[in-house]
Amino acid sequence: MRVITTTEDLAAFCAAAKLQPYVTLDTEFLRERTYWSKLCLIQAALPGKDGDAVLIDPIEGSAMSMEPLYDLFRHKSTVKVFHAARQDLEIFFVEGNVFPEPLFDTQIAAMVCGFGEQAGYETLVKKIAKADLDKTSRFTDWSRRPLSKPQMDYALADVTHLRVIYEFLAAQLAKTGRQAWVEEELAIMLDPATYTTTPDEAWLRVKTRTTSGRFLAVVKELARFRESYCQTNNVPRSRVMKDDALLELASTRPTTTEELGRSRLLLREGRKTEIADGILAAIKAGMATKPEDLPKPDLTREQLQVNPALADLLRVLLKAKSESLGVAPKLIASSADLDAIAAGERNVEALTGWRAEAFGDDALRLCRGEIALSAKGNEVRVVRL
């Protein structure tokens, strides 16, 4: 078991990886106590049952430069294979301003290849690699050193079995001609906007049913302060104030430290002077927002006039299409997408790209009365009119 802790050793491994058609990768990290993920370990394996598999330790190797790895990420001739890569990609984007390209995500590929919604790595290991995983080290503290042998074995298993899974899924995609479907999904994951939360837009993540512009103005300022403070100080949002406390403060709108102290939901951390002053300043700014600048809630979906019968037919069509294609239905269209289509909306993701080919084009034909649905036994058929 090889652990890399120096720039020289990392460069040697990455040079070897550049000669290969692909390399499998995974990370272990912590995020419970920070805003940004703390990278604790990187696992990587080269092709072949006996291909080189290593652990790259940025903690023991704190002086090690990650540039050889980032250079590998930029090397277009070697596919970088991950499973459920979103959080891994966020780490590398934040720390190195780089994305691994070309990218292959086995979770997305598995959904396209008929393994259901959000196919877990353990499931794919069992079904494709015909192996079992020892998950006892799954929730350990990856920042502590030294790592135990069970931890290292667990970490390596996340990339060694991934080789078999990748080769199987890549062959399936080539056979079905659905590589372009996966590429569309990966394009979203390789977009910097996916991992960028600006303080001005943080309020959009706070769920509330209140549509009052003044209330939302205070929510916006509180969320802006929280996001800015957490990013600057690298602390999780929940340590400053959870969403329920934020909404409570937007409702009660305290103006003094004494009034703020009466909050039922604000945690002790949020009552400290620096944060308390920031909260009170945010509430004041929200209350001072000009009427013409008040945030407006997105009521588009709530105002949709959904044809319930058509929505039900679209659900039947989606089920039939997903079963015939062997693709997870939620990957094609969400329930909200179906309701929007049934209400006449056409700016819907399910009507674009590969989804249009798989489902969207027939969905529009159904809406226009150009096709009907016919049942024969357990099978639903599309009948052209």
One pLDDT digit (tens) per residue for the chain, 385 residues: 799 999 999 999 999 999 999 999 999 999 989 999 999 999 999 999 777 999 999 999 999 999 999 999 999 999 999 999 999 999 999 999 999 999 999 999 999 998 988 789 999 999 999 999 887 777 889 999 999 999 999 999 999 999 999 999 999 999 999 999 999 999 999 999 999 989 999 999 999 988 899 999 999 999 999 999 999 999 999 999 999 999 999 999 999 999 999 999 999 988 999 999 999 999 999 999 999 999 987 766 556 788 999 999 999 999 999 999 989 898 899 999 999 999 999 999 999 999 999 999 999 999 999 999 998 888 888 889 8
Question: Which amino acid, residue 206?
Answer: V
Task: Answer with the one of 263, 293, 323 that is the final residue of a domain.
Answer: 293
In a domain, 127, yes or no: yes
Alpha-carbon dihedral sign for residues 142, 145, 149, 150: negative
Asked if residue 303 belongs to a domain, the reply is: no
* Residues 247 and 145 reside in one and the same domain: no
Note whether 60 and 131 are same-domain residues. Answer: yes
Burial of 13-41, coded b for 16+ CB within 10 Å and e otherwise, reads bbeebeeeebbbbbbbbeeeeebbbbbbb
List Cβ neighbours of 292 (8 Å cut-off, separation of 6 or more).
Answer: none
Same domain, yes or no, for 274 and 364?
no
Same domain flag for 171 and 24:
yes
| CA separation for the pair 5, 61 (Å, rounded) | 4
**Looking at the structure, do residues 339 and 284 belong to the same domain, yes or no?**
no
**109 and 26, same domain (yes or no):** yes
Q: Write out the residue range of the structural domain in which residue 320 sits.
A: 308-384
Q: How many CB atoms lie within 10 A of CB 362?
A: 21
Query: What is the maximum alpha-carbon separation in the chain?
Result: 71
Extract the tokens encoding 86.
């979103």
Among 240, 261, 293, the domain-final residue is: 293
Q: What is the pTM of this model?
A: 0.88
> Which distant-in-sequence residues (6+ apart) come within 8 Å of 213 by Cβ?
291, 294, 295, 296
Q: Is residue 36, in this structure, part of any structural domain at all?
A: yes
Would you state the structure tokens that stand for residue 258, as one six-digit string?
């004494």
- The domain that holds 144 is classified in CATH as 3.30.420.10
pLDDT for residue 234:
95
What pLDDT is stored for residue 103 in this prediction?
98
Within-domain flag for 91: yes
Same domain, 138 and 75: yes
Tell me, yes or no, whether 240 and 357 share the same domain.
no
Query: In the listed set 243, 259, 293, which residue is the last one of a domain according to the structure?
Result: 293
In terms of domains, do 78 and 159 share one? yes
Rounded-to-integer distance, Cα 161 and Cα 205, Å: 36
User: In total, how many domains does the chain have?
Assistant: 3
Statement to judge: residues 157 and 105 lie in one domain: yes
Residues 85 and 226 in one domain: no
pLDDT in the model for residue 379: 85
Do 370 and 240 belong together in one domain? no
Residue 30 covered by a domain: yes
Q: Let me know if residue 35 belongs to a domain.
A: yes
Q: Has residue 302 been placed in a domain?
A: no
Tokens found for residue 105: 């995500």
pLDDT computed for residue 135 by the predictor: 78
Q: Is residue 368 part of a domain?
A: yes
CATH of residue 337's domain is 1.10.150.80
